[in-house]
Amino acid sequence: MAFPRILTLVADRKAATLTPAMIRVAREMVGGGEPFILSPGEAVDIPCPAHSFSQPSPAVLRAAFTGQSVDVLITRARGRRKGLLVADMDSTIVTSETLDDLAAHAGVGEQVAAITRRSMNGEIDFAEALRARVALLRGLETAAMERVLAATALTPGARTLVATMRAHNARCALVSGGFTWFTSRIAALCGFDEHHANTLLEADGALTGEVGEPILGRSAKRARLIELAAARGLRLSATLAVGDGANDLDMLAEAGLGVAFHAKPVVAAAIETRIDHADLRALLFAQGYPVSAFRED
């Protein structure tokens, strides 16, 4: 029997262990082949036959593991390892929203966070929301950016994701609706090949309350994915994109493998491939990498 698809189960290492019983349930649900353990207790690949109306949807499979902190990912068996990674930064590669953290230093944290929530849920235009939030930062000393950076944490698995993909000849780009001041530093910390973002304007040691134009937002993220793939001579099917907010939707839909990572409701509803529990290592498991192939630097 041919198995053109792969069902990958990934457990949140901090909250769950993937058991033989869980693997057996999933295999029976999809009529799958012999499981291949990617990481004991953490991740497994189960070959799946061609899709049919009798097979459960990803939503049904996820429901089977409700309350068990296990992610369910279905990918094509062919071409799983991607040659390009395009990743969002805020709430994806890092655990926080750097603009919201800047706003807290300016004393306008609640105002800016409220706009951020609406923007990331797709309730208001991203560019409009960005200009409105940055305007509230007018007069904030640029030294606040250093303090925000010092308190910013990488998402677990971020360095491993980038190092492993680069070790296997993939190009990795950080593409953010945030700011180059942060992306340049986070990209260097994680080992990304390049970074793209917006520019915070400053003068005399303080922010002017303006952002450089044109703004890198939803459509620009998609365009950058396409440009980077073309520059590498890759088909879009050979690309991986990951993000959490509404401004990531277009690039997630365009990529060969678009993954919603701990995503906002509007994104989780639109993107079938989701990571709701595990860390960024799950993106490697989704490409069929066993833990023995992981790189840390």
Known catalytic residues are 88, 90
Of 4, 125, 160, 21, which is closest to residue 75 (Cα–Cα)? 4
d(CA 126, CA 268): 18
Residue 187: in which H helix or E strand, if any? helix 180-190
The total number of residues shown for the chain amounts to: 297
CA atoms within 13 A on the CB side of 61: 28
Whether the Cβ atoms of residue 183 and residue 93 lie closer than 8 Å to each other: no
Q: Which residues partner with 44 through β-bridges?
A: 9, 37
d(CA 161, CA 285): 10
Q: Is 205 exposed, middle or buried (0-12, 13-18, 19+ CB in 10 A)?
A: exposed
Of 138, 131, 287, which is closest to residue 209 (Cα–Cα)? 138
Q: Both tokens of residue 15?
A: 């909250």
